[in-house]
Chains A and B, each alone.
Chain A
């Protein structure tokens, strides 16, 4: 089912949480709302769910206005950051509950409920935990049960609020891949909120990058990563070095390397990712002179921090092999030249 978000505005006192949000979510897609905390992503999700009411604007489900429809009639499955399992019920009862409380004429038979619950528990690979209580499960297991519970009532839309936010890194990575596979099997329109760019880029069909109550960019993971529409998107989707430059005849420069600058203004800000910088020991007039001040080993990659004459220290990322070959060490004089850059009017 498709969802349309039309001119949604929401304030909390003086704080503008959402400022004129428009968004189309296609049937069957898995969409990520990505942004820093306080950007309005969770508020938007809760408004789509009906857990929060917008000050202005409307939400359309499959073309029908659902703005004034109560949560329980919207048929949305909601997965909470802290699971919100019913802790006085077993895992089985948690998943069965949404069906058990239905009015008689729409309630499946006990046998049908039992079968459905076991099918769902198998889907989330936790059938063997049916008789446990939520408190006896790990965080990752709880979140999978929460998902099974949400799916039991056959929602038209699945909404997930930082679903993996409370889990440790390893479990997070496992679960997000699992969510992706699950979505490929079920094809239910899903929206999930995250502040983790890696998670959004890895899992989602499309990513909506939000900042300060507005949408900065909407696109596929490749689009937002390779063609960031704004400096914010560029910075948020990965580490970045900033260089300031004057613009001469349409060119901005870093060290001696020139990059095409936008028309407007005579100043520019140049963004370069740490892995897009070449490092060498030979001085050239097209490179930026500096001294290595820190070496940080990050597993497969290595980060060098280089102090340059003007501006902030520059981060350079090398693969482990290139680092070992080069035998770079703290205190060495080096010359840097960016291979790629993105230039915004500053």
Chain B
């Protein structure tokens, strides 16, 4: 027991720093992914010619290939055509592109879940397509989408562990580095798992707050 306490005492700063990176990656990809996902969903809902097809292709490609492959393509593949990213940028970019595809599908489904009458009610009051989307449909769709968006965002927190393969010292790689010095895989991997769990649980709490705020009174 004493050895474990000493071990955590030693490993704590490294793991916490790694967790900080993990959180930063997750938050960056979350914000960018929500924005990109919304644009992609809009293009498909509005059936913008050409762009809607591009969006459909993008979603299919992102959902149909492993995130690990996407990270490799962006970090190791693209330099051969002259596009180079730092490991951190490549990581955020891959996570964003990946999560945006899933988020856009959740949003598209939620937008379609808002009744046609709501659109028509907006139009008959003199609203444009965009005004109706922004003030009438999107707020109601958001409420419908929150559970499924949260699913993707919690997955995202865990998916950040994959960027450890491109030398980003987030929680997973930080843990591995401490293990390489201490040769104590079990307690350290369990500690890492606990940290991932804690972050996901914190996010679940945020989700509940958001749901409570969006809840329309019954």
Whether A78 is near chain B, meaning CB under 8 Å from some CB there, is yes
Measured between beta carbons, the chain A residues less than 8 angstroms from B121 are 78, 80, 84-86, 149
Whether B140 is near chain A, meaning CB under 8 Å from some CB there, is yes
Which of B29-37, B57-65, B124-132, B193-201 contacts the other chain? B124-132
- Interface residues in A67-96 by Cβ distance below 8 A to B read 70-73, 75-78, 80, 82, 84-88
Contact B126 A102 (CB under 8 A): yes
Q: What is the predominant secondary structure among interface residues of chain B facing chain A? A: helix
Contact B124 A101 (CB under 8 A): no
Q: Which residue in A86, A98, A132, A135 is a CB contact (below 8 Å) of B126?
A: A98
**Nearest CB of A to B146, in Å:** 13
Contact B117 A80 (CB under 8 A): yes
Whether B123 is near chain A, meaning CB under 8 Å from some CB there, is yes
**Nearest CB of B to A195, in Å:** 19
Contact A135 B124 (CB under 8 A): no
Q: Which residue in B120, B216, B217 is a CB contact (below 8 Å) of A80?
A: B120
Contact B140 A72 (CB under 8 A): no
Complex: A114 Cα to B34 Cα, angstroms: 36
Whether A201 is near chain B, meaning CB under 8 Å from some CB there, is no
**Nearest CB of A to B128, in Å:** 7
Most buried by A among B115, B123, B126, B216: B126
Interface size on B, residues (CB 8 A): 21
Contact A136 B217 (CB under 8 A): yes
Whether B158 is near chain A, meaning CB under 8 Å from some CB there, is no
Q: Which residue in B120, B127, B217 is a CB contact (below 8 Å) of A133?
A: B217
**Nearest CB of A to B119, in Å:** 9
B103-134: CB near A (< 8 Å → 1, else 0) gives 00000000000010110110111111001000
Whether A51 is near chain B, meaning CB under 8 Å from some CB there, is yes
Whether A150 is near chain B, meaning CB under 8 Å from some CB there, is yes
Most buried by B among A77, A98, A133, A152: A98
Whether A61 is near chain B, meaning CB under 8 Å from some CB there, is no
Whether A49 is near chain B, meaning CB under 8 Å from some CB there, is yes
Whether A345 is near chain B, meaning CB under 8 Å from some CB there, is no
Contact B217 A78 (CB under 8 A): no
Query: Chain A: which residue is nearest B137 at the CB level?
Result: A86
Chain B residues packing against A (C-beta within 8 Å) = 115, 117-118, 120-121, 123-128, 131, 135-136, 139-140, 143, 214, 216-218
Contact B218 A71 (CB under 8 A): no
Contact B125 A98 (CB under 8 A): yes
Contact B218 A101 (CB under 8 A): no
Please give 17 more A-B residue pairs, beta carbons under 8 A apart, in addition to A72-B124, A152-B125: A71-B120, A72-B125, A78-B120, A78-B121, A82-B117, A84-B117, A84-B121, A86-B121, A88-B216, A97-B125, A97-B135, A102-B126, A132-B217, A133-B217, A135-B217, A135-B218, A136-B218
Measured between beta carbons, the chain B residues less than 8 angstroms from A98 are 125-127
Contact A76 B217 (CB under 8 A): no
Q: Which residue in A76, A85, A102 is a CB contact (below 8 Å) of B124?
A: A76
A-B contact pairs, 5 of them (CB 8 A): A72-B126, A80-B117, A82-B115, A101-B127, A152-B125
Measured between beta carbons, the chain A residues less than 8 angstroms from B118 are 84, 86
Measured between beta carbons, the chain B residues less than 8 angstroms from A149 are 121, 125
Q: Which residue in A51, A73, A101 is a CB contact (below 8 Å) of B120?
A: A51
Complex: A18 Cα to B38 Cα, angstroms: 39
Query: Chain A: which residue is nearest B143 at the CB level?
Result: A88
